């Protein structure tokens, strides 16, 4: 996944900087290439240039590495896996959680960070339907050695007439992740792990530049990802319960921001809860403050992510590249809330 400076500055303050440097890749540049002959159409310098511009690095990282880093910061005894929340009740004293295994738990606050199919979201905001984007993506990971004409220090975008291919290095540059976005009829599940087919990849890349066509031979397990999001919510908190990440604002992947926004949410919520006045009213006010700080911003990112669709024509392709997401990458959620960047340093 892509970690923008808006997310990495927070992860660095939590003490994850050295491990990110070790496991993740700082791409030197994004090259946009012609699909048929591989000519470089545009090159966006990243690396040191983006470090200077946004005051934090831009990384590409394997999701498993990020999970491992985050969970290493949490005491093991605080994590209870295999607990499916099926319902909960809120009282003035707290929240009672009921799990599928028949156990209960009591908490001061319930944070529904349970993803795009969130049970907490349904309870807080009502049922809603996924919105299909008209596109699906074939995706997977290949060894960088199998794409010998591509440099694992770079990210690549090949923009063809019926597909857009994004390739970026992960696992310290030993692998490339690929995402091949094409228009597709609705009908697939709202899932990113459905089985895909290598022959689809082969068909899409027929006639493409050999450097990227090599993907079709190198790909092992191909996944199909039907691209859905949801409409932004009008509210996402009650007095004792709130939402975070995809549960609150599932978005299309075109700006690579879903996880980054979840990290921003988590930091904002931590600051608001840390500064909460004691008692029920203090908690309710903290959740309101969190939602007011986050919902306008994430709604803008969520709706903005819809603009990066697979284009219908070549002119639209060029328009997409011109779109700026500087305001997303530049954001420092902690500084915006407390007027300083020091809170996480102290917490870490
Ligand atoms: C292929 C792909 C590539 C992506 N690339 C990027 C990228 O480059 N950059 C980026 O920022 N974002 C990216 N995203 C988006 C990013 O993965 C999500 O936005 C992010 O994972 C959201 O985190 P989350 O914690 O809110 O939800 P999730 O990661 O979905 O986690 C939710 C968790 O809740 C659990 N859960 C669900 N229901 C229950 C329940 N009832 N009880 C208990 N637990 C429950 C689930 O098992 C899961 O572990 C990508 C997504 C995909 C699919």
Q: What is the pLDDT of residues 220-258, one digit of tens each?
A: 889 988 899 999 999 999 999 999 999 999 999 989 999
Length of the chain, in residues = 348
Which residue's alpha carbon is at the smallest distance from atom 52 of ligand 1? 192
Residue 31 to residue 37: CA distance in whole angstroms: 14
Q: Is the pLDDT of residue 345 over 80?
A: no
Asked if pLDDT for residue 340 goes beyond 80, the answer is: no
Interval between CA 116 and ligand 1 midpoint (Å): 7
Strand partners of residue 311: none
Q: How far is the CA of 206 from the centre of ligand 1 (A)?
A: 33
pLDDT of residue 347: 53
Q: What percent of the chain has pLDDT over 70?
A: 91
DSSP-derived secondary structure letter, 45: E
Q: Over 90: is that where the pLDDT of 52 sits? A: yes
Classify residue 60 by burial, with Cβ atoms within 10 Å: 0-12, 13-18, 19+.
buried
pLDDT mean across residues, the chain: 90
Question: Atom 48 in ligand 1: which residue has the minimum CA distance?
Answer: 114
Summarised one tens digit per residue, pLDDT across range 169-184 is: 988 899 999 999 999 8
Q: Which of 58, 156, 158, 168 is catalytic?
A: 168
For the Cβ of 196 lying below 6 angstroms from any atom of ligand 1, the answer is: no
| Lookup: tokens for 266 | 């988590």
Which pLDDT score is estimated for 346? 56
**How many A from CA of 71 to the centre of ligand 1?**
15
Residue with CA at minimum distance from ligand 1 atom 26: 245
Give yes or no for residue 169 CB within 6 A of ligand 1: no
**DSSP of 94-145, one letter per residue?**
EEEEEETTS-EEEES-EEE---TT-HHHHHHH-----EEEEEEEEEEEEEGG
pLDDT at 310: 46
Q: Is 52 left (phi over 0), alpha (psi -120 to 50) or beta?
A: alpha
**pLDDT greater than 70 at residue 338:** yes
pLDDT tens per residue across span 121-167: 999 999 999 899 999 999 999 999 999 999 999 999 999 988 999 99
């Amino acid at each position: 996944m892509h970690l923008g400076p808006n997310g990495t500055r927070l992860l660095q303050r939590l003490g994850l900087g050295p491990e990110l440097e070790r496991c993740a890749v700082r791409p030197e540049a994004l090259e946009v290439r012609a699909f048929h002959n591989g000519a470089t159409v545009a090159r966006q310098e990243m690396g040191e240039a983006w470090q200077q511009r946004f005051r934090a690095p831009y990384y590409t990282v394997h999701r498993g590495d990020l999970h491992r880093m985050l969970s290493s910061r949490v005491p093991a005894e605080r994590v209870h896996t295999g607990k499916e929340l099926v319902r909960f009740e809120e009282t003035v004293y707290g929240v009672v959680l009921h799990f599928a295994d028949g156990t209960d738990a009591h908490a001061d606050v319930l944070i529904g960070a349970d993803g795009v199919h969130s049970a907490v979201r349904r309870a807080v905001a009502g049922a809603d339907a996924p919105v299909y984007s008209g596109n699906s993506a074939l995706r997977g990971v290949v060894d960088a050695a199998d794409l010998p004409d591509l440099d694992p220090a770079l990210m690549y975008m090949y923009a063809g007439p019926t597909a857009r291919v994004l390739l970026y290095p992960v696992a310290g540059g030993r692998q490339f992740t690929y995402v091949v976005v094409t228009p597709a009829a609705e009908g697939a599940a709202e899932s990113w792990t459905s089985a895909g087919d290598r022959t689809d990849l082969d068909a899409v890349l027929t006639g493409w530049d050999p450097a990227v066509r090599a993907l079709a031979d190198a790909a092992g397990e191909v996944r199909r990802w039907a691209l859905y999001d949801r409409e932004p919510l009008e509210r996402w908190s009650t007095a004792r319960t709130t939402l975070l990440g995809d549960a609150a604002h599932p978005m299309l992947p075109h700006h690579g921001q879903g996880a980054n926004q979840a990290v921003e949410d988590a930091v904002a919520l931590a600051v608001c809860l840390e500064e909460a006045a004691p008692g029920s009213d203090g908690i309710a006010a903290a959740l309101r403050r969190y939602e007011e700080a986050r919902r306008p911003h994430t709604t803008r990112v969520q709706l903005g992510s819809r603009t990066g669709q697979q284009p219908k024509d070549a002119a639209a392709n060029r328009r997409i590249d011109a779109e700026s997401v500087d305001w997303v990458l530049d954001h420092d959620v902690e500084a915006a809330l407390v007027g300083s960047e020091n809170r996480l340093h102290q917490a870490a």
